[in-house]
């Protein structure tokens, strides 16, 4: 995504050297994208970060609580579950990118809620301590 931002900046600057180095198909793709599509990509990346943070906390709980070994396969299953909308979109089972994004957001919120609930059920509190 950062490389597209750099290339887009070069296109907007109308720099002939940069434009000559960029394939025409890439220029066409970048200039025809809508702002919503780029915003959706940024939102998707933020939720991907949330997914990985939630799964990391789940694995951290499994590491620090020996009796919670079953959380490892659960984290793998949760990761597969939140990837289902993207896989359905890639196989054309979901045609709309917005539906894919909404489903991913819903699954991410459910995952985050479960990890938060389970951590508090174990008595873990993620707060900063004042000195």
Q: Same domain, yes or no, for 60 and 19?
A: no
Q: Same domain, yes or no, for 39 and 65?
A: yes
Show Cβ contacts of residue 22 under 8 Å, excluding neighbours closer than 6 positions. 7, 10, 11
Whole-number pLDDT of residue 1: 60
Q: Could you report the per-residue pLDDT of 9-28, keeping only the tens digit for each?
A: 777 777 777 777 777 777 77
Q: Same domain, yes or no, for 11 and 23?
A: yes
Q: Same domain, yes or no, for 91 and 104?
A: yes
Decide: residue 54, CB within 10 A, 0-12 exposed, 13-18 middle, 19+ buried. Answer: buried
The pTM of the whole model exceeds 0.75: no
User: How many Å apart are CA 57 and CA 54, to the nearest integer?
Assistant: 5
Q: Could you report the per-residue pLDDT of 42-96, keeping only the tens digit for each?
A: 888 899 999 999 999 999 999 988 788 899 999 999 999 999 999 999 999 998 8
Q: Same domain, yes or no, for 51 and 71?
A: yes
* Number of folded domains that form the chain: 2
Q: Could you report the per-residue pLDDT of 82-129, keeping only the tens digit for each?
A: 999 999 999 999 988 889 999 999 999 999 999 999 999 988 877 766
Q: Same domain, yes or no, for 24 and 80?
A: no
Q: Same domain, yes or no, for 99 and 55?
A: yes
Q: Which domain holds residue 113?
A: 35-131
Q: Same domain, yes or no, for 70 and 107?
A: yes
């Amino acid at each position: 995504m950062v490389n597209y931002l750099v290339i887009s900046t070069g296109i907007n600057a109308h720099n002939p050297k940069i434009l000559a180095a960029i394939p025409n198909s890439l220029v066409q793709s970048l200039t025809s994208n809508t702002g919503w599509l780029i915003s959706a990509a940024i939102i998707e990346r933020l939720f991907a970060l949330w997914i990985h943070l939630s799964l990391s906390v789940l694995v951290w709980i499994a590491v620090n609580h020996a009796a919670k070994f079953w959380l490892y396969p659960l984290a793998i299953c949760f990761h597969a579950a939140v990837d289902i909308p993207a896989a359905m979109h890639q196989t054309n089972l979901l045609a709309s990118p917005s539906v894919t994004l909404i489903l991913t957001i819903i699954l991410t919120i459910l995952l985050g809620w479960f990890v938060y609930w389970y951590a508090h059920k174990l008595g873990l509190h993620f707060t900063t301590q004042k000195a």
